[in-house]
Amino acid sequence: MFSNLRVKGDIITNVGGTTRIYAKEGYEINSNASIIYSAPEYSFGEPLDPPLTDGVKEIELLTALDQGSANDKTGTYQDGMIFGKTYHFKVKNYIQNPPANIATIKWMLKFHSLSQNKWIEIPLSSTGDSITITMNDEDMCGRFIYVRAYVRNPEIEAEYKQWKHNRFRWFDRMVVDD
């Protein structure tokens, strides 16, 4: 629970509850007189991260997906993205309110590369509340693609997970490998 602080001239009165002050580069108290803290105990430790007030909560895909093999030896199909097709993504919801400048919304792709055996993150140059992406990287085929939209932190803001079919999307990779 956060407390309310009332500023009366040069007097700040705490009206109850827990007070948290978030400072990006430190917090300085400057006084010509004494400063009195009256609390039953002081606690020190790792500072808490400030709560997110602006950011992207959810994104959506506006382009229809295509069917292809589910790659599970059953002969069933699943929806997914295909190589060479362009997909349109849009911000659906914000954490609280949209940012004052929509151009501060950044986009990123993330996937696990089989050829490099590591996670690849690709920051995209386009900004704003919508983006079109052409899926033309062969290394993404047969993998889940994570599309991220964020204002401050790509790790905790919006992420959209979608399967991208292999180049020959109708062949079941699990059967072909056998």
Nearest to 17 by CA among 8, 36, 31, 4: 4
| Residue-wise pLDDT tens digits, 98-157 | 999 999 999 999 999 989 999 999 999 999 999 999 999 999 988 999 999 999 999 999
Q: Give counts: helices (H), strands (E), the chain.
A: 1, 11
**Amino acid (one-letter) located at 69:** S
Decide: helix, strand or coil at residue 104: helix
Domain ranges of the chain: 56-177
Instruction: Classify 56-177 by CATH class.
Output: mainly beta
| Residue-wise pLDDT tens digits, 89-114 | 999 999 988 999 999 999 999 999 98
* 37 HSE (CA, 13 A, CB side): 7
**Amino acid (one-letter) located at 44:** F
Decide: helix, strand or coil at residue 120: strand
